[in-house]
Structure 1
């Protein structure tokens, strides 16, 4: 097995900034500078500049030499592209899980649902978001297609900002119910039912976008970044 190489300073800066953008700690239109980030994270300017370029290439930063760097608006087009990729992959992982998942895999998924329920009770939105990702990842792992989650992770980030913006108690309970429906279909070894439940779960983001665009401070754009 090839050993995992330690992350570079640029990688660590990238990871930190991306998480802050996705969690809305750095909301859309926030101005940031290389100097400020370098000082805050204890890094030199060069790795920060590299991280900025990577985030810009992914559509999360607008770098304008004359006017500064800002966090992008949430691109509706990018979110819907991410949703398309997730539905294509995750309906198939659900079908594979119906065929291949073992009892211990079902138990792990059930435990994740219990933990999600507790996170809602505790009012811990960030923990619910993490457990939500773990639930989707575990379906891939239990179906012996863990590589699919690597692909999903590379494409889901634009959806994550919408998810974090919408994660009030009502939305969390709705997501929990949808996870329960997905698990019930997988437990019943019903591939069509599992695929349908996953599609319904991931498609709901269109409704969330419509609702959030009325509430969220002009944070959305219909243009891709």
Structure 2
């Protein structure tokens, strides 16, 4: 019976394209995270639907999904607005990320895969080029890949996916900080992490990761002071 069940499942082919709502949601979410839709900005179903060539219904549904993520706020009789950045959510995500990534670094440092070290070095080189060209989005994409390699090297990809679900508010701040502050400092911290891994030093790797991720504790109050209307407790 078990074998028969597997045969049935093997014959099932799922080839469903992403729904229009999901595509609109992904498009809008990315713009919120990048700061292209600023905190507090009012969203218009009609304008967005017209701009991307869809009906208002999937846009309305995307608004609801954004609100459930804490990225938008639906105000009855007033409209939908981009949510402000929650300081509490940023600090919580940063704390969890530090705890998890420092443990991943210790795990990897005990026996770092050669391929992982090579790919980390490649990402640092990409970050240097992106920094020189002022390509902030390319820099952030490379930064994400660099950190994901820690989970990959520790064979803990699922952990990275769990972290991704937690750090939407943190990512919004990252996009602001990468534009406002010296990206060379981030590159230097990545080099420190890579060097500790190459030396197979779990203690040094943990220290380097913790120092790197605590940088946000200095950046957050400075950005919030520059843009007080973008933040909420």
Return the TM-score normalized by structure 1: 0.92
- Between the aligned partners of 2:225 and 2:115, the Cα distance in structure 1 is 43
Q: CA deviation at 1:206?
A: 1.6
Match of 2:59 in 1: 48
1:21 aligns with 2:71: no
1:69 aligns with 2:80: yes
Question: Would the alpha carbon gap of residues 169 and 51 (structure 1) be closer, same or farther in structure 2, given more than 3 Å must change?
Answer: closer
Q: CA deviation at 1:100?
A: 4.0
1:82 aligns with 2:93: yes
- Between the aligned partners of 2:163 and 2:16, the Cα distance in structure 1 is 22
Once the two structures are superposed, residues 35-84 of structure 1 have per-residue CA deviations (whole angstroms, 9 ceiling, x without a partner) of 22222222222222221111111111010121111111111001011112
Match of 2:211 in 1: 200
Match of 2:21 in 1: 10
Correspondent of 1:119 among 112, 124, 130: 130
Q: CA deviation at 1:99?
A: 2.7
Specify the structure having the higher radius of gyration (Cα). Answer: 2
1:211 aligns with 2:222: yes
Q: CA deviation at 1:211?
A: 0.6
Correspondent of 2:46 among 32, 35, 56: 35
Secondary structure of 1:167's counterpart equals helix
Q: CA deviation at 1:91?
A: 1.2
- Between the aligned partners of 2:47 and 2:112, the Cα distance in structure 1 is 48
Match of 2:150 in 1: 139
- Between the aligned partners of 1:145 and 1:127, the Cα distance in structure 2 is 25
Secondary structure of 1:189's counterpart equals coil
Match of 2:4 in 1: none
1:175 aligns with 2:186: yes
Match of 1:155 in 2: 166
Structure 2 residues not aligned, in runs of 5+: 1-9
1:110 aligns with 2:114: no
* Equivalent pair of 1:13/1:51 in contact (CA under 8 Å): yes
- Between the aligned partners of 1:66 and 1:169, the Cα distance in structure 2 is 36
Secondary structure of 1:85's counterpart equals helix
Question: Would the alpha carbon gap of residues 205 and 103 (structure 1) be closer, same or farther in structure 2, given more than 3 Å must change?
Answer: same
Return the TM-score normalized by structure 2: 0.89
Once the two structures are superposed, residues 97-123 of structure 1 have per-residue CA deviations (whole angstroms, 9 ceiling, x without a partner) of 113431111000001001101111111
- Tell me how many residue pairs correspond in the alignment: 222
Structure 1 residues not aligned, in runs of 5+: none
Question: Would the alpha carbon gap of residues 23 and 185 (structure 1) be closer, same or farther in structure 2, given more than 3 Å must change?
Answer: same
